[in-house]
Amino acid sequence: MQRSLRALRALSQQDRVSLVRAWFVLLVVDLGLRMSSLARVQRAVASALRRETPLASEDALEYIERVQRLVGIAARHHLSAMPCLRRALTVQWLLARQGIATNLRFGVRREAGRLLAHAWVDYAGEPLGEPEALEDRFAPLLAQGSEKNTS
């Protein structure tokens, strides 16, 4: 507990506010998935994309890294387990609020006779916050994006 409090105090004021926001968005996403559907939660993420002015591209990568880190911290200190789908949707929502369009990706694999699934967010074709060779471990399914459709 002491170590967690020291780590919290070490964050900047802006990061503390962002951490609290990430914690609450995780809660909203979790409740949304429990009470509704993935499609409705994704529509909320898509509407967030339309509301904010985009960040300058040089600031976007730094912001993406910050959001990934803070959502991870918030997820580890939440009321209940926040599996990959909840974390990915939260990252996608927080990035969309800054005008950063991403794709929600799903992958599956068989292991010891069980079907395992994983969800992640990618930006410009790269998985965010995931170990290398992610697509070697999970067979990707179709992407579910907040990117604007150009067709």
Using an 8 Å Cβ cutoff, are 94 and 67 in contact? yes
Residues 5-38 pLDDT 10s: 677 778 888 888 999 999 999 999 999 999 999 9
pLDDT, tens digit, 9 for 90 and up, residues 39-50: 999 888 877 766
The partner residues of 101 in beta bridges, in order of sequence, read: none
CA distance 79 to 99: 29
For residue 126, pLDDT beyond 70: yes
Does the pLDDT value for residue 143 go beyond 90?
A: no
Q: 52 with 100: CB under 8 angstroms?
A: no
Cβ(85)–Cβ(68) below 8 Å = no
**What is the DSSP-derived secondary structure letter of residue 151?**
-
> So what's the pLDDT on residue 74?
94
- Mind listing the pLDDT tens digit for each residue in 53-100? 666 666 788 889 999 999 999 999 999 999 999 999 999 999 988 888
**Per-residue confidence (pLDDT) for residue 46, from 0 to 100:** 79
What is residue 61's predicted lDDT score, i.e. its pLDDT?
84
The DSSP secondary-structure symbol of 94 reads H
Domain residue spans of the chain = 2-145
pTM (2 d.p.): 0.82
Say how many C-beta atoms besides its own lie within 10 A of residue 8's C-beta: 13
